[in-house]
Each structure stands twice: as C-alpha cells, then as structure tokens.
Amino acid sequence: MDRIGRYKIVRELGRGAMGVVYHAIDPNIGRPVAIKTIQLGQNRTPEEQDRLRERLFREARSAGILSHPGIVTIYDVEQQGDLAYIAMEFVDGPTLDQLLSEQEAVTPEQMFSILGQTAVALDYAHQKGIVHRDIKPANIMIAGPTSGCAGTVKITDFGIAKVTASEQFTMTGAIVGTPHYMSPEQVQGQSVDGRSDQFSLAVIAYEMLTGEKPYTGEHLTTVVYKIVAEEPAPPHRLNPTLGAAIEVAMRKGLAKKPDGRYRTCQEFTETLEKACEATNGWKTMPRGGSLSEPTLAEAPKPAISLPPARRRMEATGTAERQAQRKSGFLTFLLAMLVVAGLLALIGWQAAPWLLKPAAPNPDSETAAPAAAPAGQPAAAGSAPASSPNASEAKSAQAAPSNAKTGEAKPADGKPPDANAADAKPSPMPPAEPALAAKPAAAEPKPVPKRSPPERPPAAPQPVTIISSPGGAKATMDGDSETACTTPCTIVAAPGRHTLVISMPGYHLERQEVFVGSSPQEIPAVVLRAEGGTLLLTSTPSGAAVLVDGKRTAQVTPAQIRLAPGTYKITVEKDGKQASQTVEVRSGIRYLKILFDY
C-alpha cells in the first residue's frame, strides 16, 4: 500500500490490536501526518466493524474540537471501502512507555516536565468537557530531545474519550481503556469527570517513582478488584528514598473516591513536586528496579518442613513422621502426641481381642463332658488317661473351662459317660489335637485394616462477579437467595453453574461458570444497552444535528444514542438542510448525509 486517500505512505510506524499507524505526507500542502487505520472488514463480524468504526469517529470528534500544543491535532477522518482512517499530527519522538522501558530511570527533571505538561493539557481538555479515559504511558508522546527536561508532551488517542457536555452521548456501558491505569469509578462503569484522568496520571507518577504499577494481577478481574477495594503498597516500601510527604501526596492522588482527590491534574503534580523537594535524597526508579533494591531483601529463613495434610498423617508411618518434624521442641512434641494418639487408637481397636477369654481347646471340649441342662447335676468326667503328656499340657486350659461350666473331674479316672459325649461332639479331629490347636490359640488376632477416610466433599468457593456498568443484579442457577449487586461475590459449590446478570435498560446476560476447588474469578461481563447508536457524518462536516425536528447539542461527525425506532435525521449548516429517515435497532447504525449544493 503506497496511498491512503490522498495521503502518500512513507513508512509504517507501528501495529496494534486495533490497526496500523503510518507516517505519511499530505501532497496538497507537503505536511507530514500520521495515519491511523482500521481494517473494518478483516475477519470481523458486522457488529465488530460497527464498533471499530464507532471508536474511530469518536476519536476524531473528541479531539477535533481541541486545539492545544499538548494534544495531537486531528486533521481529517474518512472511510475508504473497508478501511477507516484518521489523519493527525505527526510526532517525531518516543512514547513515555518506550522511555520508561529503558534500563535507566527517568531523571527527576524529566519526570516533572512530563507530568506537568500532561497535567496542563488534560486540564485544558477537561475545561472543554472532554475526559480522555485512557491516560497511559503509551498515549503520551515526547516530541524532540528527551534529555534533561527538554521535550514536548503530546497526548494522543482520544478514541475512547467521553464528551460530558452532551446528554445523548452515554456510552458508559462498557469497560474501555487500559485496566492498570483506570480509576475505580471507570472500571465500575460509573460516570467520570476530569478527576478520573487525574487518578490515571497519579498511577503513572507512582510507576515513575517506584518502578512498579500500583495495581497488578494475572487476571483482569484481579486488577479491577484491587483498583476498587485495595490500597497500593506504600511508595517507600518499593523505593526507600521516598519520604512521608511523597506518600501523602500520592495517597490523595490515588484516592478511591473522586471527592478525595485533587481538583485538577495540575494541583496534583504541583503538590507532588513540592513533596519531593522537601524530601532529601529521593530518586526515581526504573521499571522493575524495586526487585533489585537491596533494602527490600529479607534475611533467608531456615527451611521448615510443612506438616502434611491430616489424611496423610493418618496413613504415614511413625518413622516418616518423625523424619519430617525435626524443627525444634514444639514440632518434636507434636510428633510424640501423634504417635501416642496412634498407639491409643491401636489399643482401642485391640481391646476386644485382649479382653476376650481364650477360646477353649477343641481337644479339651472333646475330653470334657457337656454342661448339664438347667436344673440337673453336672455329669462327671475326666481327661483321657492314655495321653498323660497331653493331659498335663492342657491342665491350665481345662481348669478354667471346668470352673466355668461347674463340671467336676471324677476321682476314679474313668472315661466320661457315652451319652454325655454324644451330647456335644468334637468339632476337630482327635488325632494330635493339642499340637494342631496350640499355635492357632497363641497367634494374635490380626487387627482389621481400616479403610482410608473418605475425602470430604469440596467446600463451596467464592465467585467474584464484576459487570460493566456496575450495579447489576447477579444470580446463580436461578436461585434468588444468591442474588447480589455487582461488583459482588457469590459462594457456590464446585461444579458447573449458570450465572445470570440483569439490569434495567440492558440486555440480560447469561454465562456458564465452572467452580473448582479454589476461589473463582470470572472476566468482567459487559452489559449491552438496549437500543442502538447512530454514527452520523455529513459532507461537509460541522453541521448541526436535529432528531425528529429537535435540535441536539452535537455537530457532525456525531454519535447519538437512540431507543429502537424510526427517526428523521436532519443536518443543518450555512442555512442549508438535508434530511434522511433511518431505522435504529439494537447495535450500531452508520449514516452519512450529503448536502446538495
């Protein structure tokens, strides 16, 4: 590609998720320009095309009414087939993000030159009723030399700015911007003013002072939660050269509520500069510099083996348990208590076996007469005389058995009565009964193996829910008892659940959520507003806009939020009017009206 519209392409400056930026020349006047393009039809649905076109024209409309040396000037906005583009002022220099990515930290002079110029430009835009909403290092460019305090700041990318003066421009329903630098009210989908940009500028100042962003996390929801609910680490913890005065200035700049912050961006930068001047020996830090700061390192602690989980303690042997718990008297005492508990458990299980009387020897049962029936005298009998050795070996067992049954051994040594023997036959063969039964009687009864305890069911886990805008009703699995207002947390059992988020004026959103064995964080749910958005342009631009004969506060190019229906759109300029009827439904509708001169 060598041309876009009338502009001649010189080279590519960069690529991003939204499109490509080129260095180009306007041949009519020989002026260098930067061309930001978006391929609307490249692997995108019609809805995505409308959304990208909306962002591009909003950027042009927002920045087009601003004329300030600290803000990139917009020259032109057009669409060529599936290619939409903006021609803007060309800035020959790095972004602040590139400057902060260098190995060396910015100097104090550079820091306050950049922060001060950015604050002046932002306050100017705020006076015009425009909030940038995406202040970050990548959108702050430095023109000219960057050494010392030289270099001119240029703020770019007003693509998500909000025109607060227009009542019909209400695109609050989506989280836009870079989360790490966004204000609490912005991430919650609330209305914003200039103090939101002041918060973002304070985040940049925190990063320049400490080398770290104040709010970080692996997931978007983690970052959003920290911005809304958690205070950042005190600056002196990351950079010990920063004193209490600097911390006080930063704390106010990063206040959660807009009313707790500075009234203007310049008030913030001036207060911070005075606090730094009152702090001896302070310095800035490069990105990641706090990680190598020696004052932050803690003395290494001796390794201590953590005790295993309870179910592993029940299955692990005593020797292994003692080997893992040699870290002092307390852990040794704990091991002894565990061993004592196990011994007590074994004793408890073995108690029935220990207390149970020894089973009578089968040979003794054969030799001894059966117990007499109730009410009859016991029959007399004695052990056989033919095996005296066996009789002696069994004397100890025969005595308790006889005593228990009340039987008496006959003095004459005669064999027991045959009828008594028939009453209770021997269950074991008579041959060598003592030798066969004795080992079995002496062998201890095995302790039954206990099956491992069943693993308890997984505990319910909290599910953090964030919507944009905030204040929506969230329920899990249709259970009204789980209802909460976003941002909020619902406790749910592990497994698959259905999350429903609703809010008046927005489409109902339904999402499947899988809850595991740990707290769950789901991406922020962006609610889609009911109705549609009309993106209106005219040739020439700068025309007043009327909807069904009612004049609005906007001029073309304009973005108008309308309820579903059919409208008569009229544009007016230099005493001339042009009208067109358009049907607006859910989503974005693009309309271009030409004046007939």
Catalytic residue numbers, as ranges: 134
Other C-beta atoms closer than 10 Å to the C-beta of 550 total 8
Q: Return the amino acid letter for 343.
A: L
- Residue 491: closest CA among 469, 515, 455: 515
Q: Cis peptide leading into 94, omega within 30 of 0? A: no
Decide if 498 contacts 512 (C-beta within 8 A): yes
Q: CB under 8 Å, gap of 24 or more: what pairs does 316-319 form?
A: 318/342
- Cα separation, 429 vs 424, in Å, equals 14
- Cα separation, 208 vs 221, in Å, equals 24
Angle at 448 (CA atoms; ends 445, 452), nearest 5 degrees: 160
Residue spans of alpha helices (H) in 386-511? 388-393, 395-405, 418-423, 433-442
- Residue 83: closest CA among 55, 129, 49, 60: 49
Strand duo 467-468 + 525-526: pairing: parallel
Q: What is the DSSP string of 299-347?
A: PPPPP-PPPPPHHHHHHS-HHHHHHH--SSHHHHHHHHHHHHHHHHHHH
- Cα separation, 135 vs 199, in Å, equals 9
Q: Which two tokens stand for residue 311?
A: 């179910």
- The conformational region for residue 177 under phi > 0 = left, psi -120 to 50 = alpha, else beta, is left
**CA dihedral for 22, 26, 27, 29, sign (positive or negative):** negative
Decide if 57 contacts 77 (C-beta within 8 A): yes
Q: Which two tokens stand for residue 85?
A: 């583009």
Place of tokens 């004046």: 595
Place of tokens 């499947």: 512
The alpha carbon torsion through 411, 412, 415, 420 (nearest 10 deg) reads: -50
**Across the chain, which distance is largest between two alpha carbons, in Å?**
149
